[in-house]
Structure 1
Amino acid sequence: MTTRTTKTKKYAALLRGINVGGAKKVPMAELRTVLEELGHAGVQTYLQSGNAVFTAPEQDPQTLARGLEKAIEGRFGFRVACLVVDGPHLKAVADACPYPAAELEGKQLHATFLSEQPAADRFAALDREAFLPEEFTLGDRVLYLYAPNGLGRSKLAEALARPALLKGIDATTRNWNTVAKLVELTTD
């Protein structure tokens, strides 16, 4: 008798725009329950801003994201954009960071995770010089943003969030401390 084993992988779910200013409240305990009800194992949440880590049979992250979006909408009655990234992709994002992450405060460096890869020419019209010392670099389904005064005061972050630049792409931003923690939680 042959026993078939399913290969599993660790993933991070990044929910966009929840628990901000009292809108779209998703308690982390309930998010863990939703993920467990979807059949995922080892579910953990990190902070209150919609970060969860889980183990699931290896599959397309966008399929996992759509399933989570549907389950959240069914449970809470509103749509939440979700991005799911696997542990190896998170580690690759951290390893490819073009900025000296170890020398910066977490609030100065951010990663905007993208549901798909935008063409680099979408950003050609941005006058990068006008935003200095702020900078951004496009990576593999991620935008790295160096904002020395933090995201809340960043004019470049505001410009990058314009609908035309990321039209048709779900995006959510995390500071570098959160990125590092998610890498830690999804690494075997």
Structure 2
Amino acid sequence: MPTYIAFLRAINLGAHRKFPKDRIVAAVEGLGWTDVRTHINTGNVRFDCSLRSRARIEAALEGAFREYAGFEVPTIVLTPAELRDVAAQAESFGHDGGHYVSFLKDEPSEAVVRLLEERSSAEEVAKVGGRAVHLMLREGYHQARLTNAAVEKQLGVATNRNITVVRALVEKWCS
């Protein structure tokens, strides 16, 4: 049975969007999917399911999460191979500052990618590879203008993880 990794957007960020790991696991298992695991409490979940369509998997998860959490939870699904590719892309950049990855729901057009990448500067660099946007920053994330909000404004629904989490997930779930 195929394995997938889902990234939940905007959970556990305030008093009103709490969605604990045990409820995430219950929601995924409620779909009949198996070998469900989570990593830290920021919305990273691994599971096996027989569906093959990413769009159908995301729709099923979003419905289950809405039921269990009581609010909309946009969800982006990757295969282990796709996540390994994202980590390999990160290694190819050789950046030693802050590195964040925004996972995109849909693959962007070349024109939109060019617009985002043109916003790069010596302090902040954006590189897009498929459905991943690598944000490499010299200053802290909260002082940057190239953030997940900027990515979403140009490229659509996205959720962001730092490269440390991405590497940990590859090590833990994609080996």
With structure 1 as the length reference, what TM-score do the two structures score?
0.83
Change (3 A) 1:45 1:12: same
1:54 to 47, 69, 72: 47
2-side partners of 1:111 and 1:29: how far apart? 25
Contact persistence 2:128–2:134 (CA under 8 A): yes
Q: Are 1:61 and 1:86, in contact at CA under 8 Å, matched by a contact in 2?
A: no
The verdict on how the C-alpha distance between 1:123 and 1:58 changes in structure 2, with shifts beyond 3 A counting, is closer
- Contact 2:148 2:158 (8 Å CA) reproduced: no
Is 1:116 aligned with 2:116?
no
1:172 to 140, 159, 162: 159
Query: Secondary structure of 1:64's match?
Result: helix
CA contact (8 A) 2:99 2:163 kept: yes
Residues 36-94 of structure 1: CA deviation (Å, up to 9, x unaligned): 11112111111111111112225122211110100111222211100111101101111
**C-alpha distance in structure 1 between counterparts of 2:56 and 2:166, whole Å:** 22
* Structure 1 gaps, min length 5: 1-7
Distance 1:158 1:17 in 2: 11
Query: Residue 78 of structure 1 aligns to which amino acid in structure 2?
Result: F
Q: CA deviation at 1:100?
A: 1.8
1:15 equivalent among 5, 8, 32 = 8
Report the equivalent of 2:94. Answer: 100
What SS does structure 1 have at the residue aligned with 2:93? coil
Q: Distance in 2 between matches of 1:91 and 1:74?
A: 31
CA–CA separation in structure 1 for the residues paired with 2:77 and 2:130:
14
Whether 1:81 and 2:74 are equivalent positions in the alignment is yes
> Quick one: which of 102, 109, 119 aligns to 1:128?
119
Tell me the SS of whatever aligns to 2:49: strand
**1:31, distance to aligned residue in structure 2 (A):** 0.5
Cα offsets for 1:121-173 (capped at 9, x unmatched):
225445536x322101110111111012232221222772462x12xx32111
Asked whether the equivalents of residues 10 and 187 of structure 1 are also in contact (C-alpha less than 8 Å), the reply is no
Secondary structure at the counterpart of residue 62 of structure 1:
helix
Structure number, greater radius of gyration: 1
* Fraction of identical pairs, as percent: 28
TM-score scaled by length of structure 2: 0.88
